[in-house]
Structure 1
Amino acid sequence: MTDPRWTVSWETDLDAAAHADVAALLSRAYARQSARFSDGRSWAGARPELRVVGRVGGVAVAHAGVVRRFLRALPDGGDVLVGDVGLVAVDPGHQGRGLGAALTARVVDVLVDLDVPFGFVSCGPAVEGFYRAAGWTRLPGVTVRLVDTHHRTRVDTDPAMVHAAGRPLSAWPPARELARDGQLV
């Protein structure tokens, strides 16, 4: 496999062709939810601020979106600034070749460049091990209250994971629940 060419782009710098390329990747990676990415729409909920994209032969094969936001650490942990990571995808035809690890390493670089203290991602149990291997830490027993892509508030019990990007993990506030007062990335 040819090594991918990696780019980091601000959302407002992407043109329609770039969105269509990412939307096609997200449709392949999230096949059961591919309708969300129709008509070149390259987001599902909140639009990312920044996108990390790996391309092979000019075609997007890896993607992650990042948006800065505050999470409320409940019941009394205060607010914590994070780089909220979502839409993490590797083209199914390119999986098993190290692209996911390369993608998450670049995401951590972006978090450091953004000067956020932590990265945050919620993921399905099936991919928790992937994130652990990339240096992310699960917050045990923590649920996440969020606004989903259908604009409904719900509580998510899937793994909530953090990465110490600018502060030590010991600085993460105590919490039983995190409130993500904005749509999923």
Structure 2
Amino acid sequence: MRTEVRWRLCWENELQLSDHVELAEFFRKTYGPTGAFNAKPFEGSRSWAGARPELRAIAYDSSGVAAHMGLLRRFIKISEVDQLVAELGLYGVRPDLEGLGIAHSIHVMLPVLQELGVPFAFGTVRHALQKHVERFGRYGPVTVLSGVTLRSTLPDARLDLPPTRIDDALVIVLPVGRSMCDWPAGPIIDRNGPEL
């Protein structure tokens, strides 16, 4: 039987300490099975891993947080072009609700993306999640790009690591206020900040 969830859209400054504590626990339990290192950023009451989102879509059910997606407006550089995007990330679904899917999160976020007037939503995922992200094409035209190099800064400056991280992830682009033909072509995307 499918669990009933209710979605809450909230700006970051609307969250209370109790919200951060609950979200941090959710992320530790959700990301922990993929590797202890993946749960580490969420120690204590920290409910973000890299860049802090400005808006969150949080699904709740009778057991607490069921799913989460964050949004952050930013300029990314695609080759030499500065492009405004709403970066979507910090995505998670509680393991017992795997079928809830990223498509539901996008569906909840879509009206907000349109209200914000951003030309594109942008995000990255591991190659293993390609089939999952292709499914949310039913909510709008979604393009999955591969072969793009992504550069991001680390969330914290560390003496033992270089300040920039390079990834070969899948890039997801969802046209919101513009057409996909307006997306700049280029093999390199610079976030000029940490990943959401």
Calculate the TM-score normalised by the size of structure 1. 0.92
Structure 2 counterpart of 1:22: 23
How far apart in 2 are the matches of 1:73 and 1:100? 25
In the alignment, does 2:85 pair up with 1:79? no
The answer on whether the counterparts of 1:61 and 1:94 sit within 8 Å (CA) in structure 2 is yes
Structure 1 distance, partners of 2:106, 2:130, is 13
Distance 1:86 1:149 in 2: 15
Residue 112 (structure 2) aligned to one of 94, 110, 113: 110
Aligned residue-pair number:
182
For 1:109-148, list aligned pairs within 5 A. Answer: 109-135=111-137, 136-148=142-154
Cα deviation, residue 113, structure 1:
2.1
> How far does the alpha carbon of each residue in 1:104-149 deviate from its partner, in whole angstroms, 9 at most, with x for none?
2112332222211111111100112211211231224221111134
What's 2:94 paired with? 91
Distance of 2:85 and 2:171 partners within structure 1: 13
Q: Check whether the contact 1:108–1:119 (CA below 8 A) recurs between aligned residues.
A: no
SS at match of 2:102: helix
Structure 1 stretches lacking a partner, 5+ long = none
The residue that corresponds to 2:164 in the other structure is 153
Runs of 4+ in 1 over 4 A off after TM superposition: none
Return the alpha-carbon distance in structure 2 between the equivalents of residues 140 and 59 of structure 1. 35
Q: Aligned Cα RMSD in Å?
A: 1.5
Tell me the percent identity: 34
Tell me, in whole angstroms, the C-alpha distance in 2 between the residues paired with 1:72 and 1:101: 26
Tell me the equivalent position of 2:184: 173
Q: Is the Cα–Cα contact under 8 Å of residues 70 and 89 in structure 2 kept in the other structure? A: yes
**Structure 2: how far apart are the matches of 1:121 and 1:109?**
17
TM-score by length of 2: 0.87
1:108 and 1:147 mapped to 2: Cα distance? 28
Query: 1 CA distance for matches of 2:124 and 2:156?
Result: 17
Secondary structure at 1:86 match in 2: strand
Secondary structure of 1:45's counterpart equals coil
The one-letter code sitting in structure 2 at the alignment partner of 1:111 is L
Mark the runs of 5 or more structure 2 residues left unpaired by the alignment.
158-162
- CA change 1:58–1:10 in 2 (3 A) is farther
Instruction: Give the match's secondary structure for 1:146.
Output: strand
Given candidates 103, 106, 117, the residue that maps to 1:101 is 103
